């Protein structure tokens, strides 16, 4: 029931001050993973913890050959920690999850059952066990907004428990800033994804690292993602169209005033409309200029990284030289 190409699984877990959870997490994870019919590795990324997390990880990794543990120099945030783990993992499928036991390791096999037909399987915390006002309500709004704006339909973007095929992660290196948008970004590349209901537990030990402020950051990230999605390869069309409209209206206003001045000899120096006309023309020119500069940036971005504007799924046949 698992695909035959799945020879090794990587589990990537970010940890920030989770000393009370690390040992139980490792135990429960190992119980689940040893039952699976393929190799596995666990990658723990200590995201600059100031408690005993790194020492516990050091011990676990010396005792268990399946474990690769690393410590980031300071607290870079959950997304960066995932990115670090991705850079070191060698599995055919990569599973991500939280390190506070709110996600249940026992759900991993259920995600993997779908990885043969899909490239990305996302967990859905249907019965989420977090405080309503500070966490679930903002999430509901964020989830609604994200699905409207990106056009990607998922119930729960914030769930860390996800399974990816290796290629998905490899193609997404550049978007390391925003792990909750990976499904959205991935879908533009034609990645097939699905959702699986997963269990969610209240946090038993340790403190949540986030509060309401995260919602603001998510919304700003969303604007960035939307912009990248719609215009990253054609910024001139975005800025330029506003520029043209603004410039054109400014031109009409100025033309009107000029005619009144020339043919009726009207005094136009004190008219607010003059100010508006001039402003619109200047703004229009600025916007078009901005569009052109962005076009150059886009080219530098794509060409310097040798990043093609397409993604190949696989090569179907090879021609011998």
Which residues lie near Mg ion (CB under 5 A)? 100, 102
Pick one of 6, 56, 69, 81: the residue that binds ligand UDP (CB under 6 A).
Answer: 81
Does 99 engage in binding with ligand UDP (CB under 6 A)?
A: yes
309 class by beta-carbon count within 10 Å (0-12 exposed, 13-18 middle, 19+ buried): exposed
Query: Which of 72/257 has CB closer to ligand UDP?
Result: 72
Query: Which of 16/118 has CB closer to Mg ion?
Result: 16
How far apart, in Å, are the Cα atoms of 195 and each of 20, 120, 122, 180, 198? 30, 9, 5, 14, 9
CB of 15 to ligand UDP, least distance (A): 5
Pick one of 98, 107, 119, 156: the residue that binds ligand UDP (CB under 6 A).
Answer: 98
Residues 121/193, Cβ–Cβ less than 8 Å: yes
Query: Which of 15/168 has CB closer to ligand UDP?
Result: 15
Pick one of 6, 10, 12, 16: the residue that binds ligand UDP (CB under 6 A).
Answer: 16
Which parts of 40-59 interact with ligand UDP (CB under 6 A)? Answer: 47
Which parts of 222-281 interact with ligand UDP (CB under 6 A)? Answer: none
Task: Name 202's Cβ contacts closer than 8 Å, sequence gap at least 6.
Answer: 102, 129, 130
Q: Which stretch binds ligand UDP (CB under 6 A): 77-85, 236-244, 253-261, 270-278?
A: 77-85
Binding partner at 16 among ligand UDP, Mg ion, none, C-beta below 5 to 8 Å by kind:
ligand UDP
Q: At what angle do helices 213-231 and 137-150 cross, to 10 degrees?
A: 0
Phi, psi for residue 95 in degrees, rounded to 5 = -110, 135
Size of the site for ligand UDP (CB under 6 A): 16
How far apart, in Å, are the Cα atoms of 277 and each of 240, 253, 254, 282? 18, 5, 6, 9
Does 20 engage in binding with ligand UDP (CB under 6 A)?
A: no
Query: Which of 6/218 has CB closer to Mg ion?
Result: 218
Collapsing DSSP to helix, strand or coil, 201 comes out as coil
CB of 81 to ligand UDP, least distance (A): 4
Task: Name 297's Cβ contacts closer than 8 Å, sequence gap at least 6.
Answer: 235
Tokens of 279: 């402003």
Cα gap 155→15, rounded to integer Å: 25
Interaction site with ligand UDP (CB under 6 A): 14-16, 18, 47, 75, 77-78, 81, 98-100, 102, 208-210
């Amino acid at each position: 029931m698992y695909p035959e190409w799945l020879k090794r699984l990587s589990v990537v877990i970010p940890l920030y001050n989770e000393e009370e959870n690390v040992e139980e997490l490792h135990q429960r994870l190992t119980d689940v993973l040893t039952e699976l019919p393929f190799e596995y590795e666990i990658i723990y990324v200590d995201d600059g913890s100031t408690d005993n997390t790194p020492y516990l990880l050091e011990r676990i990794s010396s005792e268990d050959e399946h474990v690769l543990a690393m410590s980031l120099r300071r607290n870079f945030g959950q997304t960066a920690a995932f990115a670090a783990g991705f850079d070191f993992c060698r599995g055919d499928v990569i599973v991500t999850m939280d390190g506070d036991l709110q996600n249940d390791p026992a759900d991993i096999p259920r995600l993997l059952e779908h990885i043969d037909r899909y490239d990305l399987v996302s967990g859905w915390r249907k019965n989420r066990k977090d405080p309503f006002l500070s966490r679930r309500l903002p999430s509901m709004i964020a989830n609604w907004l994200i699905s409207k704006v990106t056009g990607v339909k998922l119930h729960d973007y914030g769930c860390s428990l996800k399974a990816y095929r290796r290629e998905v992660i490899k193609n997404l290196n550049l978007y390391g800033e925003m792990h909750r948008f990976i499904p959205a970004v991935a879908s533009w590349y034609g990645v097939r994804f699905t959702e699986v209901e997963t269990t969610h537990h209240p946090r038993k030990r340790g403190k949540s690292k986030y509060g309401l402020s995260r919602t603001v950051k998510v919304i700003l990230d969303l604007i960035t993602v939307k912009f990248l999605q719609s215009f990253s390869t054609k910024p001139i069309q975005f800025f330029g169209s506003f520029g043209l409209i603004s410039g054109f209206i400014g031109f009409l206003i100025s033309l009107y005033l000029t005619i009144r001045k020339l043919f009726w000899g009207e005094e136009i120096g004190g008219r607010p409309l003059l100010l508006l006309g001039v402003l619109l023309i200047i703004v229009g020119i600025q916007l078009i200029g901005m569009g052109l500069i962005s076009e150059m940036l886009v080219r530098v971005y794509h060409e310097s990284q040798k990043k093609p504007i397409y993604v190949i799924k696989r090569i179907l046949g090879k021609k011998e030289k």
